[in-house]
Structure 1
Amino acid sequence: MTSRAARFRQLLKEGGPGIVPGATDCFTAKLIEAAGFPAVYVTGGGASNTLLGVPDVGIVTLNELASQAERISDAVSVPVISDVDTGFGGIANVKRAIRMYERAGIAGFHIEDQVFPKRCGHFEGKQVVSTEEMCYRIQAATDARTNDDFLIIARTDARAAEGVDAAIERCHRYMEAGADSIFFEQAQSREELERVGREFKGVPLVANMIERSKTPILPEDDLKAMGFNIILYANAALYLGAFAIKAGLKQLREEGHTKNMQDRMLSFQERQELVGLAKVDAAEKELVARVKGRLAKQRG
């Protein structure tokens, strides 16, 4: 059977996947798949917010993030790519991380050049390691992967710390070190995005659309025309869900019931359909019938 890493590589060859929404949990991942998106992204910042209730400042651990990525990958059939922050340490830590993500069935991850502990790519006060140290991380990842289709995305956060020119130069060095793809974080204008696209023609490029933050929100077709074929909406589902939950809970508190907002809620039946209750029940009935039939033959 073709691995999901190979399937994701095929999507890239075909010019996609295009928009890849971020999921913080299995339920959201299933909603993303049901909406027709060809891949799911596991957001480290979102995982920090939802698993621990803390900001994205390097508090979430490798085990927590990799375990959540594994659960999300297991919950959907489409390829899943993930955040791995800085690799959570030195060379040995990066090698361990890629082994964990490969075993989890992840199609690829992005590793960044921030110091540890890192900060969200759109926070102030970020610091980056030397270009040489980041190249060690990339080399460790390429050495450790056992599936050549597993996508290693080099993310630079140097735009905020060192400027556009330095960040682009870093990305060239990262490609030379063996990265498969470039993630230029916190581009601050259309012109900067266009420049990244020109600099890395033919290279799979990641654009990160964070609403009301540093990078302008541009249409998918525009970004694809620039050369960005992985377009992360890392937190859109989280923001959408939180907005709706906040409004609904306020109304529930004020009115004391949910009768007036059921048109804004999944039904009980839709919920069970999304998580596959009918398939679970059918599989259980089939197994029980099979075992009963075998026991009946043995007794006969």
Structure 2
Amino acid sequence: MSTLRPINPATQLRQALRHRLNQPGATALVAPGIYDGYGARMVAQAGFEVAYMTGNGVSACLLGKPDLGLVDLTLISSHARRVAACVEIALICDADTGYGGVVGVRRTVQEFEAAGVAGIHIEDQLSPKRCAQMPGAREVVPFKTAVAKIEAAVNACSDSSFLVIGRTDSAASCGLDEAIRRAQAFEYAGAAAVFVELKTHAGILDDIRRVADAVDIPCMVNIDAGGPLAALHSSELHHYGIALAIYPSLIRSATGFAMREALQHLSQSGSTALMQKRMLSSDEYNQALGLAEVEAWELRFPDQD
């Protein structure tokens, strides 16, 4: 007699994320940016449904280097596997340019699927890429090359619920019309969502609305673009057609600020006494890491010797 196989937990998270993103009129999903398992656990414990693993943050965390395309597929996908394994919320990862041509893109999808993440975004920058929020416009690959990568990524999925998000950085160098043309082509190629990277300017909200009106799939937006966008309350995002808002710099910048302040305080005062109220206690730290659950597991299997 045949039995039904249980659904893979990663597939369940992917299906739930797809459903949530495609709910008509729903408020936008907010995805704080993380770069390690500690931050991912914090995001989950704060009640968020999804976390965003920022390539910029991973480059800082693992290499101590700026986001200049130095993190390769093996490094980030193995890191993503560990991060995804420590939380029970969806994880969306930055997959840069897909780490090669269409053959490289296929392996990229396979590696991230196996890592248990919910989805990735692939951008159309020329390699080696640079963080889009650094000064200057980014050079992008030709239109057909960009679309072929997204089509290859969609066809490489073994789990149909895995999210391939088509990202274009072409707006700054080629104009918004070209960015919208690429977003529409990504949709036609089967992308689950589109992500038009924009730099801050007075009309950024109007531009986002134009993008959202031009496609029939969810729109992802980087709130780090700043300006009028950063001033929006999360409850207002969906009014501009935003289905998924990522905050890549929130944790890495807040953590960096706190580390600098704490180290300066220790250097200048010679102790941490006055910092204690701004630090997690040992109990709070262990709670964040799930120590109680680990200890409960140990008690289930007492030493019989």
- Is 1:193 the counterpart of 2:208? The answer is yes
- Please state whether the residue corresponding to 1:288 is helix, strand or coil: coil
Which residue among 279, 288, 295 is the counterpart of 1:274? 288
Q: Where do residues 80-119 of structure 1 align in structure 2 (5 Å cutoff)?
A: 80-119=91-130
- Is 1:173 the counterpart of 2:173? The answer is no
Q: Is the 8 A contact 2:205 2:240 kept in 1?
A: no
Partner of 1:120: 131
Question: Which deviations, in whole Å up to 9, do the C-alpha atoms of 1:228-257 show, x marking residues without a partner?
Answer: 111000110111111111111111111111
In the alignment, the residues of structure 1 paired with residue 286 and residue 208 of structure 2 have an alpha-carbon distance, to the nearest angstrom, of 42
Partner of 1:161: 173
2:138 partner letter? K
Which residue among 144, 147, 153 is the counterpart of 1:132? 144
- Please state whether the residue corresponding to 2:93 is helix, strand or coil: strand
Question: Which deviations, in whole Å up to 9, do the C-alpha atoms of 1:3-28 show, x marking residues without a partner?
Answer: 21112112213435511001111001
In the alignment, the residues of structure 1 paired with residue 137 and residue 16 of structure 2 have an alpha-carbon distance, to the nearest angstrom, of 37
Which residue among 1, 5, 30 is the counterpart of 2:14? 5
In the alignment, the residues of structure 1 paired with residue 171 and residue 225 of structure 2 have an alpha-carbon distance, to the nearest angstrom, of 18
Question: Which deviations, in whole Å up to 9, do the C-alpha atoms of 1:50-73 show, x marking residues without a partner?
Answer: 110111110111111111111110
Flag structure 2 segments of 5+ consecutive residues without an equivalent.
1-6
In the alignment, the residues of structure 1 paired with residue 227 and residue 101 of structure 2 have an alpha-carbon distance, to the nearest angstrom, of 30
In the alignment, the residues of structure 2 paired with residue 85 and residue 136 of structure 1 have an alpha-carbon distance, to the nearest angstrom, of 15
Q: Where do residues 30-45 of structure 1 align in structure 2 (5 Å cutoff)?
A: 30-45=41-56
The CA deviation at 1:259 is 0.8
In the alignment, the residues of structure 2 paired with residue 17 and residue 108 of structure 1 have an alpha-carbon distance, to the nearest angstrom, of 17
Partner of 1:232: 246
Compute the RMSD of aligned alpha carbons. 1.7
Q: Is the 8 A contact 1:153 1:182 kept in 2?
A: yes
The CA deviation at 1:190 is 1.6
How many residues in Structure 1 have an aligned counterpart in Structure 2? 290
Q: Is the 8 A contact 1:209 1:217 kept in 2?
A: no
Q: Is the 8 A contact 1:102 1:150 kept in 2?
A: yes
- Please state whether the residue corresponding to 1:287 is helix, strand or coil: coil
Q: Is the 8 A contact 1:70 1:105 kept in 2?
A: yes
In the alignment, the residues of structure 1 paired with residue 58 and residue 199 of structure 2 have an alpha-carbon distance, to the nearest angstrom, of 23
Partner of 1:243: 257
- Is 1:183 the counterpart of 2:192? The answer is no
| Distance change in 2, residues 1:207/1:128 (3 Å) | same
- Please state whether the residue corresponding to 2:296 is helix, strand or coil: helix
In the alignment, the residues of structure 1 paired with residue 142 and residue 56 of structure 2 have an alpha-carbon distance, to the nearest angstrom, of 23
Partner of 2:89: 78
In the alignment, the residues of structure 1 paired with residue 36 and residue 50 of structure 2 have an alpha-carbon distance, to the nearest angstrom, of 14
Partner of 2:4: none
In the alignment, the residues of structure 1 paired with residue 249 and residue 232 of structure 2 have an alpha-carbon distance, to the nearest angstrom, of 16
- Is 1:52 the counterpart of 2:72? The answer is no
Q: Is the 8 A contact 1:187 1:214 kept in 2?
A: no
| Distance change in 2, residues 1:184/1:139 (3 Å) | same
Point out the structure with max Rg over C-alpha.
1
The CA deviation at 1:211 is 6.2
In the alignment, the residues of structure 1 paired with residue 272 and residue 233 of structure 2 have an alpha-carbon distance, to the nearest angstrom, of 36
In the alignment, the residues of structure 1 paired with residue 189 and residue 64 of structure 2 have an alpha-carbon distance, to the nearest angstrom, of 36
2:22 partner letter? K
Q: Which moved more, 1:170-179 or 1:214-223?
A: 214-223
Percent of paired sites with the same residue: 34
Q: Is the 8 A contact 1:57 1:118 kept in 2?
A: yes
Q: Which moved more, 1:125-134 or 1:11-20?
A: 11-20
Q: Is the 8 A contact 1:11 1:17 kept in 2?
A: no
The CA deviation at 1:268 is 0.5
Q: TM-score, normalised by structure 1?
A: 0.92
Q: Which moved more, 1:218-227 or 1:207-216?
A: 207-216
Partner of 1:260: 274
